[in-house]
Amino acid sequence: MKVRFRIRRFDPLHQAEPYWQAYSVEVKEGMTVLEALLKISEDDDPTLSFRRSCRSAICGSCAMTINGFPRLACSTQVLPQYRKKGEMTVEPLSNHQVIKDLAVDMTPFWNRMEKVSPYLAPKEEPKDGWVIRKEDAAAIDSAQKCIMCGSCNAVCDSLEADPNFIGPAASVKAWRLVGDVREGMKKKRLERLSEGHGVWDCVRCVHCTEYCPKDVRPLEAIERLRAKAIEKKVVDNHGAKHTLALVDSVKRVGRLDEAAMTFKTLGFLRSLGMIPLGLKMEMHGKLPHLIIFPAIDGIKEVRKIYSAVERRKKKKE
């Protein structure tokens, strides 16, 4: 079947703007987008640039935006996509600078990776070698599946707003280390990860988990890092304080007590600075009850849940 591909092309050094170019490709059942691109570059237009290597979804070279979403070209079949959308559009990954056509600059990606000191800093090894139980290995198994394709960073809301954010991919690497029973610098890592632009800056849009082609679930890694940070008492930062305040607020009144939470997250002096914003929000009707926070009706039930969780935690320890 002949399938029309619209590919977004750009050579930033020589062209002012990106443009779309259409190609028609004879596609057979089972053919992947990567095969189609190879066919275009071999038979039709060798000037089309894109990365490729393993062609089996393991090297992470070929992530690009296909019909609007980040995907690996080598593991995306053309026909099912085409049938759904009626056409094939191929663009470079978003949130990344284009080098040429579909190849984007991955330098910021690697730099973020290096920022988390991505190598094990082991504790002293037991005399007769490490025993790693299956459960221990399982905790970091999904993090170990990451192929560093960059799809998650391409759709991350926080990263789009703050280029200094550590991002989902590097967070996965961080969890792979913090979650390792042999790691000796857990607390230090968690302290660094809890600083500004760190794991607390994720806004939990879930895009990373939704679009990761290897089911790595970066958001889960971020949540585990946050939980571990609190467990290790790395709480002298806004993110952890905010979470603790939230837990406390729900326990007390069964809902969010925004004013008290601001106070607990930012401390007294900084909270003063938030008053104008609070008043503005109040004026626009965004803060329903600024002053009085009655407990909700079912507060007893809520507290029961808390005690159950506490009991379970004790048992585990």
Partner 1 sequence: MVIHDVVVVGAGLAGMRAAIEAARAGLNVAAVSKVHPVRSHSVAAQGGINAAIKEADSWEDHAFDTVKGSDYLGDQDAIEVLCREAPSDIMELERMGAVFSRDDAGRIAQRPFGGADYPRTCYLADRTGHGLVHLLYEQLIKHGVYLYDEWHVVSLVTHDNSVRGVIALELTTGKLHRLHSRAVIIATGGYGRVFNTSTNAITSTGDGMALALRAGAPLMDMEFVQFHPTTLKRTGILMTEGARGEGGYLINSAGERFMKAYAPSKLELASRDVVSRAEQKEIDAGRGVDGCVLLDMRHLGKDRIAERLPQIRDLAINFAGVDPVIAPVPIKPGAHYSMGGIMTDVDGKTPVEGLFAAGECACVSVHGANRLGGNSLLETIVFGRRAGKAAAGSCIKGRGLRDFPDPALADAASAIASILNRTEGESAHRLIAGAREAMEEHCWIFRTREGLEGGLKKIRKLRERYGRVALTDRSDCFNTELLTALEAGYILEISEAMLMGALARTESRGSHFRLDFPARNDKEWLRHTLVYREGKGCRMDYKDVRITRFTPAERKY
Structure tokens at 60: 């992470």
Contact call for residue 54 and ligand FES (CB under 6 A): yes
Contact call for residue 59 and ligand FES (CB under 6 A): yes
Cα separation of 248 and 260, whole Å? 10
Contact call for residue 242 and partner 1 (CB under 8 A): no
Choose among partner 1, ligand FES, ligand SF4, none what residue 36 binds, the Cβ cut-off being 5 to 8 Å by kind: none
Question: Which residue in 84, 81, 101 sits closest to 92, CA to CA?
Answer: 101
Contact call for residue 57 and ligand FES (CB under 6 A): yes
Q: Enumerate binding residues for ligand SF4 (CB under 6 A).
A: 146-152, 156-159, 168-169, 172, 202-208, 212, 214, 216, 218-219, 222
What DSSP assignment string belongs to 230-293?
HHTT---SHHHHHHHHHHHHHHHHSS--HHHHHHHHH-HHHHHHHHHHHHHHHHTT--S-SS--
Residue 61: CB minimum distance to ligand FES, A: 4
Residue 37: CB minimum distance to partner 1, A: 11
Residue 32: CB minimum distance to ligand FES, A: 9
Tell me which residues in 125-144 interact with partner 1 (CB under 8 A).
125, 129-134, 136-137, 140-141, 144
Cα separation of 203 and 205, whole Å? 6
Interface with partner 1: number of residues (CB under 8 A): 56
* Sheet strand arrangement including 19-26: 19-26, 2-9, 88-91, 63-66, 69-72
Choose among partner 1, ligand FES, ligand SF4, none what residue 204 binds, the Cβ cut-off being 5 to 8 Å by kind: ligand SF4
| Token pair 């221990």 in the structure block, residue | 136
Contact call for residue 24 and ligand FES (CB under 6 A): no
Choose among partner 1, ligand SF4, ligand FES, none what residue 182 binds, the Cβ cut-off being 5 to 8 Å by kind: partner 1
Cα separation of 220 and 208, whole Å? 10
Contact call for residue 154 and ligand FES (CB under 6 A): no
Cα separation of 215 and 145, whole Å? 8
Choose among ligand FES, ligand SF4, partner 1, none what residue 152 binds, the Cβ cut-off being 5 to 8 Å by kind: ligand SF4
Residue type, 84: K
3-state secondary structure 26-91: ECCCCCEHHHHHHHHHHHHCCCCCCCCCCCCCCCCCCEEEECCEEEEHHHCEHHHHHHHHCCEEEE
Residue among 76 and 249 whose Cβ is closer to partner 1: 76
Contact call for residue 74 and ligand FES (CB under 6 A): yes
Choose among ligand FES, partner 1, ligand SF4, none what residue 14 binds, the Cβ cut-off being 5 to 8 Å by kind: partner 1
Listed ranges 57-65, 251-259, 272-280, 302-310: which one lies at the site for ligand FES (CB under 6 A): 57-65
Long-range contacts of 280-288 (CB under 8 A, 24+ apart): 287/258
Tell me which residues in 84-113 interact with partner 1 (CB under 8 A).
99-101, 103, 106, 110
Choose among partner 1, ligand FES, ligand SF4, none what residue 118 binds, the Cβ cut-off being 5 to 8 Å by kind: partner 1
Cα separation of 218 and 143, whole Å? 8
CB neighbourhood size of 247 (10 A):
13
Contact call for residue 21 and partner 1 (CB under 8 A): no
Chosen residue from 5, 7, 40, 61 binding partner 1 by CB under 8 A: 61
Residue among 78 and 216 whose Cβ is closer to ligand SF4: 216
